[in-house]
Amino acid sequence: MKVIPLKASAGITGFGHGGAEYTEIEQSLDMLIMPNAGATFIGRASGTSMQGVGIFDGDLLIIDRSTRPEEGDVIVASYNREFVCKVLDFKNGRLLSASPEYPPVQINAYDDFSFEGVVTSSIRVFRGSQGIKSRLS
């Protein structure tokens, strides 16, 4: 995959001209974001509870089932038969949102809980092939 060695700021006014020099990166994009492809799946974020860690409504989540969860990881779990994306508070047995608007969720013995994977990356889709657009418009 060829890329332009360019760091773009939010105030960008243009890209390099057509003759800009490209460099080659060693890995394909799928290897960069899904090194454990056989144990990885993609989900779509819904809601606003994870905006504090940069995950917004409609973002794609790269979820690795082979990665062992650690304290503070962003994870996907099945909680009472609903998929949730939360920060893992392993020590206290809680799931935390990344927004003060949502309280922590205590995991109890009577809850139906299963760990599904660690969110290793997220991708913001502004305009996809199916016409999916940013929610800002």
- Residue 8 — very low, low, confident or very high, per pLDDT cuts 50/70/90? very low
Please give the positions annotated as active site. Answer: 49, 86
Q: Answer whether residue 61 is part of any domain.
A: yes
- Mean pLDDT confidence for 70-87: 95
Quote the pTM value: 0.75
In a domain, 129, yes or no: no
- Listed in sequence order, the DSSP H helices in 34-93 are none
At 46, which CATH number? 2.10.109.10
Per the model's pLDDT, the better-predicted residue between 10 and 93 turns out to be 93
The answer to whether residue 15 is domain-embedded is no
Q: CA 63, 94, 45, 51 torsion: positive or negative?
A: negative
Residues 100-128 have a mean pLDDT of 91
CA-to-CA separations, 92 to 44, 71, 96, 105, 106, in angstroms, rounded: 27, 10, 10, 10, 8
| Residue 124 clears pLDDT 70, i.e. is over it | yes
Give the domain range for residue 41: 30-123
CA gyration radius, the chain: 18
Residue 34 in any domain: the answer is yes
Mean pLDDT of 43-71: 93
In a domain, 45, yes or no: yes
Domain membership flag for residue 24: no
Would you say residue 53 has pLDDT above 70? yes
pLDDT attached to residue 30: 74
Instruction: Please report whether residue 11 resides in a domain.
Output: no
Over residues 54-82, mean pLDDT:
94
Q: Is residue 69 part of a domain?
A: yes
Looking at every residue in the chain, the average pLDDT score rounds to 82
Phi, psi values for residue 52, rounded to 5°: -65, -20
Confidence of residue 11 (pLDDT cuts 50, 70, 90): very low
Please give the pLDDT value at position 27: 74
Mean pLDDT of 95-118: 95
Domain count along the chain: 1
